[in-house]
Amino acid sequence: MRAKRDFFKESRACIAALILLCSIPLFPEYCAPLFTIGAFVCAAVDARHRGSAIHIGTLGKLLAVYIAYMAVGILYSEHKLNSLSTVLMWMIAFGGYLTLTTVIINRRRLQLLLLFFALAAGLVGGIAAVQYVLRDIVRLPLPNQVWEPLDVLFYRYFPMDVDIHIATHRVASTFNNPNIMSEFLVMAVPLTAVCGFDGYRTRLKLTARVCLVLALLGVAASFSRGAYLALLSMLLLLLVTNLKKLSPLLLSLVAALSLLPEIIISRFFSIGVTGDFSITQRFDAWDAAIQAILQSPLFGMGPGISNFSEYAQTFGVNVPHAHNVLLQLLVEGGFVGLFILAVVAIRMLQNSAECLSRSPKTHLFGVFFLAFTISMMVFGMVDFPFLCPKLMATFFMVIGTADAVFSLYLGRSTVPLAKALPSLRLSEWKRKPAAK
How far, in Å, CA of 324 to CA of 385, rounded?
9
Q: 3-class SS at 13?
A: helix
How far, in Å, CA of 303 to CA of 34, rounded?
22
| C-beta separation of 225 from 186 below 8 A | no
Write down the domain spans for the chain: 11-270+279-423
CA atoms within 13 A on the CB side of 122: 18
Is the pLDDT confidence value at 384 over 70?
Answer: yes
Q: Which helix (H) or strand (E) holds 314?
A: none
Q: 3-class SS at 173?
A: strand
| C-beta separation of 190 from 230 below 8 A | no
What is the band of 364 on the pLDDT scale with cuts at 50, 70, 90?
Answer: confident
Model pLDDT, residue 1: 44
What is the band of 428 on the pLDDT scale with cuts at 50, 70, 90?
Answer: very low
Model pLDDT, residue 434: 44
Model pLDDT, residue 144: 85
Give CA separation, 319 vs 107, 310, 316, 329, 331, in Å: 44, 9, 10, 16, 14
Q: Which residue has the higher pLDDT, 231 or 14?
A: 14
Q: 3-class SS at 357?
A: coil
Model pLDDT, residue 329: 96
* Weakest mean pLDDT among 256-265, 343-352, 423-432: 423-432
Model pLDDT, residue 86: 95
Model pLDDT, residue 8: 58
What is the chain's percent helix, strand, coil content, to nearest 5?
70, 0, 25
| C-beta separation of 200 from 111 below 8 A | yes
Is the pLDDT confidence value at 69 over 90?
Answer: yes
The amino acid at residue 201 is R
Q: What is the mean pLDDT of residues 382-399?
A: 94
Model pLDDT, residue 236: 79
Cβ neighbour number for residue 77 with a 10 Å cutoff: 22
Is the pLDDT confidence value at 347 over 60?
Answer: yes
DSSP 8-state symbol, 416: E
> Residues 246-302: pLDDT tens digits?
555 555 555 555 445 555 555 555 555 545 567 788 889 999 999 999 999 999 999
Is the pLDDT confidence value at 360 over 80?
Answer: no
Model pLDDT, residue 245: 54
> Residues 36-52: pLDDT tens digits?
999 999 999 999 999 99
> Nearest CA to 250 among 182, 198, 197?
197
> Nearest CA to 389 among 102, 157, 175?
175
| C-beta separation of 355 from 410 below 8 A | yes
Q: Which residue has the higher pLDDT, 427 or 26?
A: 26
What is the band of 154 on the pLDDT scale with cuts at 50, 70, 90?
Answer: confident
How far, in Å, CA of 305 to CA of 270, rounded?
28
The percent of residues in the chain predicted with pLDDT above 90, rounded, is 57
Cβ neighbour number for residue 411 with a 10 Å cutoff: 13
> Nearest CA to 413 among 53, 57, 55, 52?
57
Task: Tell me the torsion sign for CA atoms 358, 363, 365, 371.
Answer: positive
Q: Which residue has the higher pLDDT, 221 or 158?
A: 221
Model pLDDT, residue 224: 86
- What's the whole-number average pLDDT of the chain? 85
Q: Which residue has the higher pLDDT, 422 or 292?
A: 292
pTM above 0.85, yes or no: yes
| 32-54: b (≥16 Cβ within 10 Å) or e | bbebbebbbbbbbbbbeeeeeeb
How far, in Å, CA of 89 to CA of 106, rounded?
29
What is the band of 238 on the pLDDT scale with cuts at 50, 70, 90?
Answer: confident
How far, in Å, CA of 329 to CA of 143, rounded?
33
Q: What is the mean pLDDT of residues 4-33?
A: 86
What is the band of 2 on the pLDDT scale with cuts at 50, 70, 90?
Answer: very low
* Weakest mean pLDDT among 129-138, 351-360, 424-433: 424-433
Give CA separation, 178 vs 114, 168, 183, 231, 280, in Å: 24, 10, 9, 16, 19
DSSP code string of 325-338: HHHHHHHHHHHHHH
